[in-house]
Amino acid sequence: MKRISDRVTWVGKIDWELRHFHGDEYETHEGSSYNSYLIRDEKVALVDTVWKPFDKEWLEKLKAEIDLGEIDYIISLHGEVDHSGAFKELMREIPDTPIYITANGVISSKGQYHQDWNFVPVKTGDKLSLGETELTFIEARMLHWPDTMFAFLSGENALFSSDGFGQHLASEALYADLVDQCSLWKEALKYYANILTPFSVMVKNKINEILAMELPIEKLYTSHGLLWRENIGEIIGKYLEWADDYQEDRIAIVYDTMWESTRKMADAIAEGIREASPETEVSIISTSKTDKSDVIAEVFRSKAILLGSPTVNNGILYSTSGILEMIKGLKLKKKKAAAFGSYGWSGEAVKIMTEKLREAGLDAVNDGVRVQWTPDEGMTQELRKFGKDFANSVK
Ligand code: FEO
Residue (of 257, 268, 260) closest to 319 by Cα position: 257
Burial of 110 (0-12, 13-18, 19+ CB in 10 A): middle
In a shared domain, residues 350 and 312: yes
- What confidence score (pLDDT) does residue 80 get? 97
Q: How far apart are alpha carbons 73 and 45 in whole angstroms?
A: 5
Residue (of 368, 309, 377, 320) closest to 343 by Cα position: 309
- What confidence score (pLDDT) does residue 185 get? 98
Whether ligand 1 lies within 6 angstroms of the CB of 80 is answered as yes
- What confidence score (pLDDT) does residue 338 get? 98
CATH of the domain at 372: 3.40.50.360
**How many angstroms is it from 392 CA to the middle of ligand 1?**
40
CATH of the domain at 141: 3.60.15.10
In a shared domain, residues 159 and 57: yes
Whether ligand 1 lies within 6 angstroms of the CB of 147 is answered as no
In a shared domain, residues 26 and 67: yes
Whether ligand 1 lies within 6 angstroms of the CB of 28 is answered as no
Looking only at the bridges linking them, the beta strands covering 134-139 and 119-121 are unpaired
Looking only at the bridges linking them, the beta strands covering 369-372 and 336-343 are parallel
Whether ligand 1 lies within 6 angstroms of the CB of 206 is answered as no
pLDDT (tens, 9 = 90+) of the chain, 395 residues, equals 999 999 999 999 999 999 999 999 999 999 999 999 999 999 999 999 999 999 999 999 999 999 999 999 999 999 999 999 999 999 999 999 999 999 999 999 999 999 999 999 999 999 999 999 999 999 999 999 999 999 999 999 999 999 999 999 999 999 999 999 999 999 999 999 999 999 999 999 999 999 999 999 999 999 999 999 999 999 999 999 999 999 999 999 999 999 999 999 999 999 999 999 999 999 999 999 999 999 999 999 999 999 999 999 999 999 999 999 999 999 999 999 999 999 999 999 999 999 999 999 999 999 999 999 999 999 999 999 999 999 999 99
End-to-end CA distance of the chain: 51
Going by alpha carbons, the residue nearest to atom 3 of ligand 1 is 80
Determine the 3-state secondary structure of 41 from DSSP: coil
**How many angstroms is it from 195 CA to the middle of ligand 1?**
9
Other C-beta atoms closer than 10 Å to the C-beta of 198 total: 16
Q: Which of 242, 276, 304 is a domain's end point?
A: 242
Domain of residue 299, residue span: 251-393
Atom number of ligand 1 nearest to Cα 224: 1
- DSSP label at residue 369: E
Whether ligand 1 lies within 6 angstroms of the CB of 256 is answered as no
**How many angstroms is it from 231 CA to the middle of ligand 1?**
24
In a shared domain, residues 285 and 379: yes
Q: How far apart are alpha carbons 314 and 296 in whole angstroms?
A: 26
- What confidence score (pLDDT) does residue 122 get? 98
Whether ligand 1 lies within 6 angstroms of the CB of 223 is answered as yes
- What confidence score (pLDDT) does residue 261 get? 98
Catalytic residues: 22, 78, 80, 82, 144, 163, 191, 224
In a shared domain, residues 230 and 262: no
Whether ligand 1 lies within 6 angstroms of the CB of 78 is answered as yes
- What confidence score (pLDDT) does residue 163 get? 97
- What confidence score (pLDDT) does residue 79 get? 95
Using N-to-C axis directions, what is the helix angle for 377-393 and 261-276, rounded to 10°? 50
Whether ligand 1 lies within 6 angstroms of the CB of 163 is answered as yes
In a shared domain, residues 293 and 342: yes
- What confidence score (pLDDT) does residue 77 get? 98
Q: Which of 225, 242, 259 is a domain's end point?
A: 242
Q: How far apart are alpha carbons 55 and 84 in whole angstroms?
A: 9
Burial of 141 (0-12, 13-18, 19+ CB in 10 A): middle
By the 8 A CB rule, do 119 and 101 touch? yes
Give the number of domains in the chain. Answer: 2
Q: How far apart are alpha carbons 109 and 24 in whole angstroms?
A: 23
**How many angstroms is it from 300 CA to the middle of ligand 1?**
20
Atom number of ligand 1 nearest to Cα 148: 2
Q: Which of 207, 242, 277 is a domain's end point?
A: 242
Atom number of ligand 1 nearest to Cα 34: 1
Q: How far apart are alpha carbons 226 and 47 in whole angstroms?
A: 16
Host H or E run for residue 252: strand 248-255
- What confidence score (pLDDT) does residue 78 get? 96
**How many angstroms is it from 80 CA to the middle of ligand 1?**
5
Q: How far apart are alpha carbons 185 and 84 in whole angstroms?
A: 26
The pTM for the full model equals 0.96
Q: How far apart are alpha carbons 165 and 170 in whole angstroms?
A: 15
Q: How far apart are alpha carbons 186 and 21 in whole angstroms?
A: 17
In a shared domain, residues 264 and 143: no
Strand partners, 151: 137, 160
Residue (of 281, 348, 283) closest to 321 by Cα position: 348
In a shared domain, residues 269 and 136: no
In a shared domain, residues 36 and 60: yes
**How many angstroms is it from 82 CA to the middle of ligand 1?**
6
In a shared domain, residues 231 and 339: no
- What confidence score (pLDDT) does residue 353 get? 98
Atom number of ligand 1 nearest to Cα 162: 1
Residue (of 255, 267, 260) closest to 384 by Cα position: 267
Whether ligand 1 lies within 6 angstroms of the CB of 224 is answered as yes
- What confidence score (pLDDT) does residue 294 get? 98
**How many angstroms is it from 339 CA to the middle of ligand 1?**
34
In a shared domain, residues 270 and 231: no
Going by alpha carbons, the residue nearest to atom 2 of ligand 1 is 80
In a shared domain, residues 163 and 269: no
Whether ligand 1 lies within 6 angstroms of the CB of 292 is answered as no
- What confidence score (pLDDT) does residue 49 get? 98
Q: How far apart are alpha carbons 315 and 95 in whole angstroms?
A: 55
Atom number of ligand 1 nearest to Cα 144: 2
